[in-house]
Amino acid sequence: MQPLGEFDLIARFFKRPTPHAVVGVGDDCAVLQPRPGTQWAISTDMLVAGRHFFPDTDPGQLGHKALAVNLSDLAACGAQPVAFTLALALPEAREAWLAPFAQGLLALADLHGCELVGGDTTQGPLNICITVFGEVPVINGRTLALLRSGAQAGDDLYVSGTLGDARLALEVLQGQLSVPPAVLKAARTRLQAPTPRVALGLALRGVATAAIDVSDGLLGDLGHVLQQSGVGAVVHTDVVLQRLASWRALVPWLSEPDTPLSKARLLGWTLAGGDDYELLFTAAPAQRAQVAQAALRAQTPVTRIGQIEAERGLRLLDEHGQPLPNTFASFDHFA
């Protein structure tokens, strides 16, 4: 087979009709027109082989995940996905890798009506960098984007879906423990092909006061909201464990409540596991019915796990309402 050249590769796998872009792939710049009354929410995320994923990861899932982690940022801002660019460094241009990669990537893009409008392609160690463009309404000069800075004392604190699944899969894949095959399969999908909570983010516009996506771990990401909002919070760890660590019941030794190791690990994976891609958000107690409506509309369960308080700092409570020391470090590339 003829080796693929740079431009053949782009034309073959990444150049598609882009009906919503003024100019898509093929010129020096993509040109996008924001609709009247909207602003761009823009986010970039990079996936590096050996750092964010195993180099032999299924390329289809990798394509999905590279876009999913970016769409998760748009979801956290309550932005409607519109377009994205793809910067790709590849060790070699192999069709057997590129075809499934493009398929996984573009299937998720199509699901969200998000068009690939440009990018860059170069030879080098496998590295995938995506920039997404999403639309948020602006009303009377005020953005409807959900921000980290909007949490108010007295607000309820919520998390979508479940936490710790991806971490469980990672521990198993690294040979730290074994779990029943069906449990691994579900957890592995969460790790390798997460579902961005785009519909929930959109439904929470005008309802949530602040939001962030949980990528580095619940407590660490909550810390960003607290810091940027200038508030504190109390978190009920028993609720988090019972409602968000749904996988725990399926792993026999983890569900034994009294072994200190199982409890510490369980808490660690749930509160600081990383790669969850759920939404953490705050809303006034008066909005509880609207939050429930939003969850229903987005078909995404949400759980109330605590409260925002005026006193700064993060307070964890155990099942007896007693303070629990926060020893749960979130992921930090340079720590």
Which H/E stretch holds residue 121?
Answer: strand 115-123
110 touches Mg ion (CB under 5 A): no
* Cβ atoms 43, 132 nearer than 8 A: yes
Give the residue closest to Mg ion by C-beta: 120
What is d(CA 236, CA 238) in angstroms, rounded to the nearest whole number?
Answer: 6
Closer to Mg ion by Cβ: residue 55 or 125: 125
In this structure, what are the phi and psi dihedrals at residue 42, rounded to the nearest 5 degrees? -125, 135
Q: Which does 28 bind (CB under 5 to 8 A by kind): Mg ion, ligand ADP, none?
A: ligand ADP
As a whole number of angstroms, the longest Cα–Cα distance in the chain is 67
Closer to Mg ion by Cβ: residue 120 or 256: 120
Q: Which does 14 bind (CB under 5 to 8 A by kind): Mg ion, ligand ADP, none?
A: ligand ADP
Closer to ligand ADP by Cβ: residue 66 or 233: 66
User: Per CB under 6 A, which of residues 109..128 are in contact with ligand ADP?
Assistant: 116, 118-121
C-alpha triplet 213, 215, 221: angle, nearest 5°: 65
Please enumerate in sequence order all residues whose Cβ is within 8 A of that of 24, keeping only pairs 6 or more positions apart, or say none: 15, 16, 17, 18, 30, 115, 116, 117, 118
Q: How far is the CB of 40 from ligand ADP (least distance, A)?
A: 17
Q: How far is the CB of 201 from ligand ADP (least distance, A)?
A: 25
Q: How far is the CB of 9 from ligand ADP (least distance, A)?
A: 8
Straight-line distance from the first to the last Cα atom of the chain, in angstroms, rounded to the nearest whole number: 45
Among 66, 86, 184, 324, indicate the residue that binds ligand ADP (CB under 6 A). 86
8 touches Mg ion (CB under 5 A): no
Closer to ligand ADP by Cβ: residue 66 or 283: 66
Stretch touching Mg ion by CB under 5 A, among 37-45, 60-68, 112-120, 291-299: 112-120
CA 297 vs CA 59, 205, 206, 214, 300: distances in Å: 32, 13, 15, 21, 8
Q: How far is the CB of 279 from ligand ADP (least distance, A)?
A: 28
Q: Which does 66 bind (CB under 5 to 8 A by kind): ligand ADP, Mg ion, none?
A: none
Closer to ligand ADP by Cβ: residue 39 or 121: 121
95 touches Mg ion (CB under 5 A): no
CA 66 vs CA 38, 45, 197, 241, 312: distances in Å: 26, 8, 15, 28, 35
25 touches ligand ADP (CB under 6 A): yes
Stretch touching ligand ADP by CB under 6 A, among 19-27, 75-83, 149-157, 162-170: 19-27
Q: Which of 122, 121, 92, 116 is nearest to 104 (CA)?
A: 116
What is d(CA 309, CA 282) in angstroms, rounded to the nearest whole number?
Answer: 11
14 touches ligand ADP (CB under 6 A): yes
* Cβ atoms 245, 270 nearer than 8 A: yes
Q: Which does 121 bind (CB under 5 to 8 A by kind): Mg ion, ligand ADP, none?
A: ligand ADP
Stretch touching ligand ADP by CB under 6 A, among 22-30, 131-139, 185-193, 324-332: 22-30
Q: How far is the CB of 134 from Mg ion (least distance, A)?
A: 23
CA 5 vs CA 12, 105, 128, 248, 267: distances in Å: 10, 21, 18, 48, 49
For 237, the token pair is 């760890």
Among 6, 95, 110, 120, indicate the residue that binds Mg ion (CB under 5 A). 120
Report the chain's C-alpha Rg in angstroms. Answer: 21
Residues that bind ligand ADP (CB under 6 A): 10, 14, 25-28, 86, 88, 116, 118-121
Residues that bind Mg ion (CB under 5 A): 120
